[in-house]
Amino acid sequence: MAAAPVKQRSGPGGPRAQLPPCYYEGYLEKRGPKEKASRRLWTCLCGNALFFFNNAKDAHYVEKLDLSGFVSLKDDCSRDRNLEAARLILRMKDGETKLTAPNLESRELWKGFLYSVIDLNVPACLTLLPGQLQMLREVVDKERSRRRTRTPARAPPSPLSVPLVGEIPPCFRPVSRTEAEVLLERHPDCGNMLLRPGRDGCSLAVTTRQDLNGSVFRHYRVTQRDQGGYVIDVENPIPCATLHEVIDALVEKTAGALQPFLLEEPYEENITYVSSNDENGERILHTAPSSPLPRAPALPPKQADRWSTKPLSRSPAPDRRILTSPVPSSPTNPMRRLILSPSPLAQTLNEELKMKLEKRRASQE
């Protein structure tokens, strides 16, 4: 199982030269989350991203998949019309991408390069040759060095650095100018105007988008006045007491053509977590059970001590002539015979004593 050769397809100043270093490349069939059919594309693992080209000679890529949103990578055992093909499911935060390698050996090598770039560590769970493992170690070292020397992109100013006064409108987004344009273009149904921090960190800006043979973006500066309130910096400045009035003024001036951008971001409905398989090292996304945890069994009620020293209430003396018992006549009750009616022998003795007493009374009289 030989690795695909990694060669630059264009000159020193070509588009390929502008990409991160290429660690592995080859043909893969790709089907994204919103695609109905797979496409056979020349795929290059450059830095921490997959770049897709129509063929191996193209200088411009047609798609890019950033691996920073990686969740899991697992084999897809479903059958393909090509019996030698081997499938992979690459799960990202924004959906699943299905990749199909030419054979099982190619799939294992792709998994090795992907794990090495994502984890910055050579995976020990794959069946690879010593030479291939050495290639992965070199890739890990190169990617670590690239990330250390890479110049970090300048982060957009924090909204906290802007001295805001009053309540912040819901259309405020802590994004840069470019990110604001992307948001408005991706979600046209959520509004076409948002408030954001200014590039200088000391002011605010309003970004708008409208359709006129394509997207038309406009940006307006909003500054805070020393005496309080805000002003929209246009040819005829528009003073506003609050940021809410800034948004209302733009809506009114455009007769409602501009509407605040309100994006309701969804929340997860289930608790999920990622775990690794000890046998093959694959990471899988699990869903925690939604049923409530079982409660500990309740202790039985404490029975009264049969030898309790609690004083008994004094009851009136029972009538000796009534020898019935309220205790149920259970065969297992050891006191059953003691509390039932008198035996025949006792009745005979009582009758004899009664007759003797009657004779004695008669004789005395």
Q: 185: which residues sit within 8 A by CB, 6+ positions away? A: 209, 215
Contact 47, 64 (CB under 8 A): no
Three-class SS of residue 190?
helix
Domain coordinates of the chain in residue numbers?
Answer: 22-150, 177-254
**Residue 365 or 63, more confident:** 63
Query: For residue range 72-106, what is the model confidence (pLDDT) as tens digits?
Result: 898 888 776 777 788 899 998 888 999 999 998 99
DSSP 91-109: EETTEEEEEEESSHHHHHH
Query: For residue range 270-317, what is the model confidence (pLDDT) as tens digits?
Result: 788 788 777 777 777 778 887 666 666 666 666 555 444 455 444 454
Query: For residue range 18-32, what is the model confidence (pLDDT) as tens digits?
Result: 788 999 999 999 998
Q: What is the pLDDT of residue 342?
A: 55
Q: What is the pLDDT of residue 365?
A: 66
User: With bands split at pLDDT 50, 70 and 90, how would you rate the model's confidence at 339?
Assistant: very low
34-38, 204-208, 253-257, range with the lowest pLDDT:
34-38
Report the top-level CATH class of 22-150: mainly beta
Q: What is the pLDDT of residue 16?
A: 73
What mean pLDDT do residues 315-324 have?
46
Q: What is the pLDDT of residue 7?
A: 46
The two structure tokens encoding residue 222: 């909003």
What mean pLDDT do residues 336-342 have?
48
Q: What percent of the chain has pLDDT over 90?
A: 36
Of 240, 203, 234, nearest to 218 by C-alpha is: 234
Report the top-level CATH class of 177-254: alpha beta
User: With bands split at pLDDT 50, 70 and 90, how would you rate the model's confidence at 327?
Assistant: very low
Q: What is the pLDDT of residue 325?
A: 44
Query: For residue range 145-154, what is the model confidence (pLDDT) as tens digits?
Result: 998 886 544 4
Is it the case that residue 69 has pLDDT exceeding 80?
yes
Angle at 358 between CA 353 and CA 360, to 5 degrees: 95
β-pair type (193-197, 215-224)? unpaired
Q: What is the pLDDT of residue 153?
A: 46
Q: What is the pLDDT of residue 346?
A: 65
